Amino acid sequence: MLKRTLHISSSPHITKGISTDDIMRNVVWALLPVSAFAVYAFGLSALLVLFTSVASCVITEHLLCRLAGKESTISDWSAVISGLLLGLTLPPGFPLWMTFCGGVIAIALGKFMFGGLGYNVFNPALVGRAVLQAAFPVAITTWQPAFASNRFDSTFSATFTFPFAEPAADGITAATPLAAFKFEGITTDAQELALGLVTGSTGETCAALIILGGIYLVMRNMMNWRIPVAVLGTVYILSGLFYLIDNESYPSPVFMLFSGGLMLGAIFMATDMVASPITSAGVVLYGAIIGLLVVVIRLWGGLPEGVMYAILIANAISPHIDNMIRLRVYGTAKRAMER
């Protein structure tokens, strides 16, 4: 018999065969229709914003790994997700240099500082966006109209703002449905919201495609469906209650669900596995907290939109939820858990 080299390893010797980079890649696939619609609705500028944010995230991750003397981790595709999500939450005409800064911050501050994939306390994309919101409050609330006629052959004027210069105001701005409601009391038709015929951040407008991406991931068992269901359910019930009490000053629950970044946030950002609790009961509580915060910020806060802060706050609570809610181990008495 020939001499062979036998591989020694611990059991089990077979695996289910789904790896972390498979999961990450599938999240990217699920985000592609949303991204494609964003480019369709907002044109060249949206494409550039998405491309810039993905590139800056991937480059930052690669360089930081090299700097730390580790092997580059860009092949796990998680930086691509962060980049895509960051791009999708920015206005389509957001200056590219600011977008690039956002990507660097998302990865450096939101992910790498905590130790990289698996250790981030917050969703990196949202950390990037939160810093951008604080640093560039005007640019990040300057919304460009969807379906401009020349969107495929020219960019919005702010797109190519020179770094550190003030973005040019070109007058063709539009109000998002949430801002229109908050500051002017105008509600938008739910059907328009669901199909993405309105303005808003690059990728948050078409709820239908976002839901489709979510269903794809849930069917592949790559997303915890309890999180979006808990978030959206809480928002629907709470805002429904207020709507029943006073339908003059409070928006309808359907409007709440389909406007702003709620769909994108609930389906693609709150579900960041690393920054959410690990038990089924834990994620339901986590989702409910996000839903509650979204309603509170939107109805009574100074900002028209609160999804980002709601998720970031819930991310911070998440480890505590995991410490609080533990599964009852087989063969242990129920009371033994309460300690």
Partner 1 sequence: MKIKWPGNSITGTLASFKHGVHPNESKELTDHRQIERMPFSDHFILHLSQHTGVPSIPVVKEGQKVRRGELIAKPGGFVSVGLHTPVDGTVTAIDLFDHPKGQMSPAIKIKTDPFSPQISRQPPVPSPEQLPLNTFIELVQRAGIVGMGGAAFPSHVKFSVPEGKECKVMMLNGCECEPYLTCDHRVMVEYSQELLDGTSILQHFIGAEAIYIAIEANKPDAIHILDQACQVSELPIEVVPLKVKYPQGAEKMMISAILGDEIPAGKLPLDVGTMVSNVGTIVALSQYFRKSLPLVERVITVSGTAVRRPSNLLVPIGTSMREVVDYCGGLTDELARILLGGPMMGVVQKSLEVPVLKGTSGILALSHDEVSDFDTYTCIRCGRCLDACPLFLNPARLGLLARKSLWDEMEDNHVLDCFECAACSFVCPSGIPLVQSFRVGKAMVREKKARMASEKG
Contact residues for partner 1 (CB under 8 A)?
1, 4, 6-23, 76, 115-119, 224, 273-274, 276, 278-280, 322, 326-333
- For 203, half-sphere exposure in the C-beta direction (CA atoms, 13 angstrom radius) is 29
Residue closer to partner 1 by CB (options 119, 183) is: 119
Dihedral-angle region of residue 147 (phi above 0 means left; psi in -120 to 50 means alpha; beta otherwise): left
CB of 263 to partner 1, least distance (A): 22
Task: Count the neighbouring beta carbons within 10 Å of the beta carbon of residue 317.
Answer: 15
Cβ contact 303:335 at 8 Å: no
Cβ contact 68:116 at 8 Å: no
Which residue type is seen at 148?
A: A
Angle between helices 78-89 and 124-135 (to 10 degrees): 40
Per-residue b or e along 239-277, where b marks 16 or more CB atoms closer than 10 Å to that residue's CB = bbebbeeeeeebbebbbbbbbbbbbbbbbbbbbbbbbbb
CB of 124 to partner 1, least distance (A): 13
CB of 17 to partner 1, least distance (A): 5
CB of 312 to partner 1, least distance (A): 17
CB of 28 to partner 1, least distance (A): 15
Task: Count the neighbouring beta carbons within 10 Å of the beta carbon of residue 59.
Answer: 17
Give the C-alpha separation, 237 to 224, whole Å: 21
Residue closer to partner 1 by CB (options 3, 134) is: 3
Indicate the SS3 state at residue 297. helix
CB of 317 to partner 1, least distance (A): 15
Residue closer to partner 1 by CB (options 41, 284) is: 284
Residue closer to partner 1 by CB (options 20, 154) is: 20
Residue closer to partner 1 by CB (options 17, 171) is: 17
CB of 123 to partner 1, least distance (A): 13
Residue closer to partner 1 by CB (options 36, 229) is: 229
Residue closer to partner 1 by CB (options 14, 134) is: 14
Give the C-alpha separation, 234 to 203, whole Å: 23
- For 158, half-sphere exposure in the C-beta direction (CA atoms, 13 angstrom radius) is 26
Residue closer to partner 1 by CB (options 69, 331) is: 331
CB of 18 to partner 1, least distance (A): 5
CB of 98 to partner 1, least distance (A): 29
Residue closer to partner 1 by CB (options 302, 335) is: 335
DSSP-H helix ranges across the chain: 20-42, 44-67, 78-89, 96-108, 124-135, 177-184, 190-195, 207-219, 226-245, 253-258, 262-264, 280-300, 307-324
